[in-house]
Structure 1
Amino acid sequence: MKKRVFISFDFDNNLSLKNLLVGQAKNPDSPFEISDWSLKEAAPEWDWMYKAEQKIKCSDIVVVIAGTYTYCASGVKKEIALARKHDKKVVQIKPIGTNPIRVYDAGVMYDWTWENLKKLLS
């Protein structure tokens, strides 16, 4: 059974990276699946938090895409807090050749390689 992944990312700066991870989940040998659960519409914070919490609760793991400004993205911090509240494993991945600041309480940071994804998400 494939792991259900919730992606936490800096919407303003890393949407293309999120889309890349969604694409990788479609590989035939992918051990994980991603329902595109990004909240696309602007919503009051209480509504956004409720929807994010429901989606995180249905996931097996939260993957934080660590970009240049992810460490200070307020939505990412809130999603991590929700993941911790529901005892979900949280890991960070960073694009090869980058050195982003680690997101607080978001778990170990790994290089974003196909091999690492398969190991982390199997």
Structure 2
Amino acid sequence: MTTKKRAFISFDYDNDEGAKIMLAGQAKLPDSPFDFKDASVKEHLTGDWKEKVRRRMDNVDIVIVLCGQKTHTAAGVSAELEIAKEKEKEYFLLAAYSDKTCTKPTAASASDKLYEWTWDNLKTLIGGGR
């Protein structure tokens, strides 16, 4: 069996926590290609929170950016994406809702595609198919 990728989930805590809980739950499925390792926090961590996020990202293989309706206004998500890019971590943007308009964080590149959240897509994206 292949080793599961350790994932950091970046998300808008105020608006998309329910979607994050569902995504973390999918990591527990028997055929999941990833383990939920870490995620955004509500309060900016005490001290230099960005430094703490950097350290957390040292322990992950991939960053999943969960995009909801207000992700473009979530400064923390953009900061986390910047850190992921700086650390050259693999990442992808995942639409948190199929029935709502999801937005990208401001730190996303124009070429960053927003992927539909399906189980098959998730497995392909984590496997490097983008």
Unaligned runs of 5+ in 1: none
User: In the TM superposition, what whole-angstrom CA distance separates every residue of 1:15-67 from its partner, at most 9, and x where no partner exists?
Assistant: 11110000000000001111244435553351x11111111122111111110
Kindly report structure 1 stretches of 4+ aligned residues shifted beyond 4 Å.
Answer: none
Q: TM-score, normalised by structure 1?
A: 0.89
Paired residue type of 2:125: L
Does residue 39 of structure 1 match 2:41? yes
Report the aligned-residue RMSD. Answer: 1.7
Identity among equivalent positions (%) equals 39
Looking at structure 2, the residues matched to 120 and 61 of structure 1 have their Cα atoms a distance apart, in angstroms, of 10
Q: Which residue does the alignment assign to 1:113?
A: 118
Report if the CA contact (8 A) 2:27-2:36 is conserved.
Answer: yes
The equivalences for 1:12-23 within 5 A come to 12-23=14-25
With normalisation by structure 2, the TM-score equals: 0.84
Q: Which runs of 5+ in 2 are unaligned?
A: none
1:44 is paired with a residue whose SS is: coil
Q: Tell me the SS of whatever aligns to 1:35.
A: strand
State the number of aligned residues: 121
Q: Which amino acid aligns with 1:81?
A: E
| Correspondence 1:48-59 to 2 at 5 A | 48-59=49-60
